[in-house]
Every structure is written in C-alpha cells, then in structure tokens.
Homo-oligomer: A and B are copies of this chain.
Amino acid sequence: MDYSIYLSGEIHSDWREQIESGIKESGLDITIYSPVTHHESSDEVGVKILGEEEKPFWKDHKAAKINAIRTNTLIQRSDVVVVRFGEKYKQWNAAFDAGIAIGLGIPLIVMHDPALTHPLKEIDGAAMAVTETPQQVVEILKYISR
C-alpha cells in the first residue's frame, strides 16, 4: 500500500528525519512531502526572487505566497497530513495547515507534548490520531500499510 504524507510544522527539531528514517527502515512505500524547512531561505524567497520591499509586511507577503504554491499543492496531493507542534514560537502556520487539510477533507495526524493539549483541543478533536513522538507516527504508517 502506497501513501503520500505531508509533514507540516516545527522546523527546529529533527522529527521529520526521524519519521523518514523510520519509514525507510520499515520499507514502507510512502512519499514524503515537506515545506522548505530552511528558515532563512523561506523568509527571504519573496524579495530575493521578486525584488526588495521596504515594508516587512510586503516582504513577508511575497515570501508567504511563493511558499504557499508549494505547500498547498503538496497538501492536496497527500493522503495524510501530519502536523507537529513544538515548544517554541507561535506556530500559527502549523495550525493553519491543519485547518487547510480539514477544509479539504484530508485526514490529519497531530504530534505534540501533552502539555499543549488544552490550546490544541480543536485541532486534536479534528485529528484521526494525536501522537507525541515520531515513532508513533511511523507505527501508524506501518499499520495502515500492512
């Protein structure tokens, strides 16, 4: 059974790599999609390609839209969207991706520390599984790939 998954959220830990290596070790037939996770490239892409902006708002705007071409295309191609919430930062883009997945009818797996349960309850409530570790995500993928 082949699946495509999109890994959204936290870019400051190696959770994507852990899922990726877990998938490889288990020999699963899974295509992994991600956003561009190099922070600076992602922030600068708009002005770098389309020209400088004085206002930070428009700089961010141009970057966000180029990133969205990739992000939305890959979310729509995925069978499952996995969203990881870390300890730091606002991470509104992670919650936003989770919402897009639900709006499109694509199943969601969430990963976060139990300490975040209350503020994430709406997203957890819409998810097919709420995990804490990359290993649990890999176990789910192994199970649905049998």
> Residues of A at under 8 Å CB distance from B?
1, 3, 33, 36, 41, 45, 48-50, 54, 56-58, 60-74, 79-80, 85, 89-105, 107, 109, 114, 116-126, 128-131, 136, 139-140, 143-144, 146
Q: Is the CB of A122 within 8 A of B67?
A: yes
Q: From known contacts A63-B121, A66-B144, infer whether A99 and B103 are also in contact, taking CB-CB under 8 Å.
A: yes
Complex Cα–Cα for A120 and B92 (A): 6
Contact between A140 and B49, CB atoms less than 8 A apart: yes
Q: Is the interface of A mostly helix, strand, loop or mixed?
A: helix
Contact B61–A69 (Cβ < 8 Å):
no
Are A129 and B62 neighbours in the complex by a CB distance under 8 Å? yes
- A79: chain B residues at CB < 8 Å are 73
Of all chain B residues, which has the CB nearest A109? Answer: B69
* A68 near B107: Cβ-Cβ < 8 Å: yes
Chain B residue contacts of A139, Cβ below 8 A: 48-49
Q: Report the minimum CB–CB distance from A127 to chain B (whole Å).
A: 8
A66 adjacent to B140 (CB under 8 Å): yes
Give 7 closest A-B pairs by Cβ, nearest first. A103-B103, A99-B99, A64-B125, A95-B95, A60-B121, A90-B119, A70-B144
